[in-house]
Amino acid sequence: MIILIFFIAHWFLSLFFQTFFQHRYASHRMFTTSKFWERVFYIMAYLCEGASFLNPRAYAIMHREHHAYSDTAKDPHSPHFFPDIFQMMKYTVKTFGDYLQKTRNTEERFKGNYPEWPFIDRIGSSILSRLLFGAAYTCYRSFFIFIRQTGPFIRTG
């Protein structure tokens, strides 16, 4: 039962921080906060999203472009301009990566007013971080599978 609670809690927390921090705060600036709370949300987004952490700067730029150009040829991920979902996702990943690496430029109106924390951005976007989170998830889940199959470690009587 605890592993089910973990799955659900992890999913909801990941979704919450993606929606609350990257979408509402970084992309739309629907609210303001102190630098301290911005950093708290940044860390929580990283910890809760784990292997699927999204850089808030790159996310904000792409999301702003998406709203400005929704379902047009300039939309960075509109399904109307790709032959299939896989090509759309491939282009989305490339565009996001270009913004992450700062190798793609965008219009001035999409720039700025998003949170940046280079240290967490480098860690959160690294392959090593993603692999370590994947290993942690695997170990955690394997532990509960092991306990279920072997029974409790401590026997009484």
Residue with tokens 């739309």: 28
Give pLDDT tens digits for 93-127.
Answer: 999 999 999 999 999 999 999 999 999 999 999 99
* pLDDT score for 154: 54
* pLDDT score for 1: 74
* pLDDT score for 132: 97
> What average pLDDT does range 36-61 have in this prediction?
96
**Percentage of residues of the chain with pLDDT beyond 90:** 73
Question: Of how many residues is the chain composed?
Answer: 157
Tokens read off for 102 = 């700062």
| Average pLDDT of the chain to the nearest whole number | 91
Measured CA to CA, the distance from residue 126 to residue 106 in angstroms comes to 23
Q: What is the DSSP string of the chain?
A: -HHHHHHHHHHHHHHHHIIIIIIIIIIT--S---HHHHHHHHHHHHHHHGGG---HHHHHHHHHHHHHTTTSTT-TT-GGGSSSHHHHHHHHHHHHHHHHHT-S---GGGSSSS---HHHHHHHTSHHHHHHHHHHHHHHHHHHHHHHHH--SS---
* pLDDT score for 78: 87
Largest CA distance in the chain: 72
In this structure, how many other beta carbons lie within 10 angstroms of the beta carbon of residue 95?
18
| pLDDT > 70? residue 148 | no
Measured CA to CA, the distance from residue 100 to residue 60 in angstroms comes to 11
Q: Which residues of 108-129 are buried (b: 16+ CB within 10 A; e: fewer)?
A: eebeeebbebeebbeebbeeeb
| pLDDT > 90? residue 129 | yes
| pLDDT > 90? residue 153 | no
Of 66-70, 90-94, 146-150, the least confident: 146-150
